[in-house]
């Protein structure tokens, strides 16, 4: 934006960031980009092998990172992880909650376990991590938090009732968080991606026609396509996240930026 490049301008140099869901997909791309921008990044993910691999890629490039294997659904584990990050890396300046899970299914066939698993990660996990980090940011009266939700939290989707409900709850929580944090100079915003080329999206495809059907939409499922005629890349979501973390958005808080190529028609 206006020639600004956070990598070369050094905006994130010397900061400490925490990114959950950093083992794959959007979270991994956000974490690696922040590291490339000069931030010391704690990569959180319950998949120890995946988060270690992501951290090794960063370390090989000379970036400063700390892999932390943690299940964000576990409140106590999150508190311990955040303490570990601050002990090892210093005060946390930025938090990106990108951990999320998806299980498809009609409401009639969705099990209690499916419902609880989705909410334990997508809602409880965001709450646990936001609370733990906010408690440390408040005395310092600074910090930025970005929560990754989904455009599925804005419009109904067949076979995605649990996922959509969890993301709607996540976005609303993040806005209330922002209202309470504002008095301490802490900004909190939401990025709601649409269909993005990640392992989560690919898990929904049954054959090679998946990308075409995603872009074209599915009238039988009352699902619109993508007006921009393309899937998002993880980098598209990362750009939005970094903007909301940066000083360029210094007067923006409580907002939900939908990055979906127009798929929900601005809903």
Would you please indicate which residues are annotated as catalytic (active-site) residues? 163
3-state secondary structure 217-245: CEHHHCECCCCCCCCECHHHHHHHHHHHH
Which residues neighbour 164 within 8 Å (Cβ) at sequence distance 6 or greater? 150, 152, 153, 155, 156, 157
């Amino acid at each position: 934006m206006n020639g600004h490049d956070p990598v070369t301008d050094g905006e994130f140099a010397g900061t400490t960031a925490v990114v959950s869901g950093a083992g794959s997909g959007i979270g991994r791309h956000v974490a690696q980009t922040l590291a490339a921008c000069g931030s010391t990044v704690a990569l959180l993910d319950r998949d120890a092998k995946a988060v270690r691999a992501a951290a090794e890629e960063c370390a090989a490039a000379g970036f400063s990172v700390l892999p932390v294997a943690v299940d964000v659904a576990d409140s106590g584990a999150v508190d311990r992880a955040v303490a570990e990050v601050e002990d090892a890396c210093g005060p946390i300046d930025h938090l990106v909650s990108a951990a999320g899970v998806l299980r498809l299914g009609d409401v009639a066939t969705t099990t209690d376990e499916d419902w609880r698993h989705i909410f334990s990660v997508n809602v409880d996990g965001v709450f646990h991590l936001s609370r733990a980090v906010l408690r440390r940011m408040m005395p310092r009266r600074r910090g930025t938090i970005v929560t990754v939700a989904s455009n599925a939290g804005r419009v109904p989707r067949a076979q995605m009732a649990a996922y959509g409900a969890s993301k709607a709850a996540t976005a609303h929580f993040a806005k209330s968080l922002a209202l309470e944090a504002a008095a301490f100079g802490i900004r909190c915003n939401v990025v709601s991606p649409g269909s993005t080329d990640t392992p989560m999206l690919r898990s929904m495809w049954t054959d090679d026609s998946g990308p075409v059907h995603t872009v074209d939409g599915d009238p039988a499922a009352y699902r619109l396509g993508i007006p921009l005629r393309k899937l998002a890349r993880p980098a598209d979501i990362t750009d939005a996240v970094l903007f909301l973390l940066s000083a360029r958005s210094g007067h923006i808080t409580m907002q939900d930026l939908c990055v979906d190529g127009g798929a929900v028609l601005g809903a």
